[in-house]
Amino acid sequence: MLITGELLLERGACAREITRLTALYGNSVQVTQAWCGAHANLDWDWAADHLLPPPLRAEYERRKAPLLAEYLRQEAPLLAEYERQMASLQGEYRRQEGPLLAKYLRQGAALRAEYERQEALLWAEYQRQKALLFGSLAE
């Protein structure tokens, strides 16, 4: 099959993919199994839906089904192990979260109290100096 920029445009490909194809291969590329294998990151389901005639599209879907089933069979234990480890991690996070939050709030409150104590002294001195300034100007 020969894929051209015009064919992709006619079949509704996005401008980004058309630009990518033409930048890499000029206006056309001869599709072979080897070429497809070297470009596995392309959207082959879109290509099947938009570029293959109905009988070949049906064959693609028929032959893709066991590939997907095998992927899902192998992916299931990976996902289960990921979820198991994440649950453990989340449990440890939650176990530590309460005490850490309490410590943060306790220490934060102490820091805030000390800040407010020192700031009140500064404010009082500022107010006293303003009063003296006003008094010196008003005499």
pTM of the model: 0.62
Q: List the alpha helices (DSSP H) in the chain.
A: 5-10, 15-25, 33-38, 44-51, 54-138
Tell me, yes or no, whether 64 and 121 share the same domain.
Answer: yes
Q: Phi and psi for 69 in degrees, rounded to 5?
A: -60, -40
Domain total in the chain:
2
Tell me, yes or no, whether 61 and 128 share the same domain.
Answer: yes
Tell me, yes or no, whether 45 and 101 share the same domain.
Answer: no
Tell me, yes or no, whether 31 and 64 share the same domain.
Answer: no
| 82 vs 66: CA distance, rounded Å | 24
Bridge partners (DSSP) listed for residue 28:
4
Tell me, yes or no, whether 69 and 121 share the same domain.
Answer: yes
Q: Mind listing the pLDDT tens digit of every residue in the chain (139 residues)? A: 999 999 999 999 999 889 988 888 888 899 999 999 998 888 999 999 999 999 999 999 999 999 999 999 999 999 999 999 999 999 999 999 999 999 999 999 999 999 999 999 999 999 999 988 988 888 8
Query: Domain limits at 69?
Result: 53-139
Tell me, yes or no, whether 38 and 70 share the same domain.
Answer: no
Helix (H) or strand (E) holding 2: strand 2-4
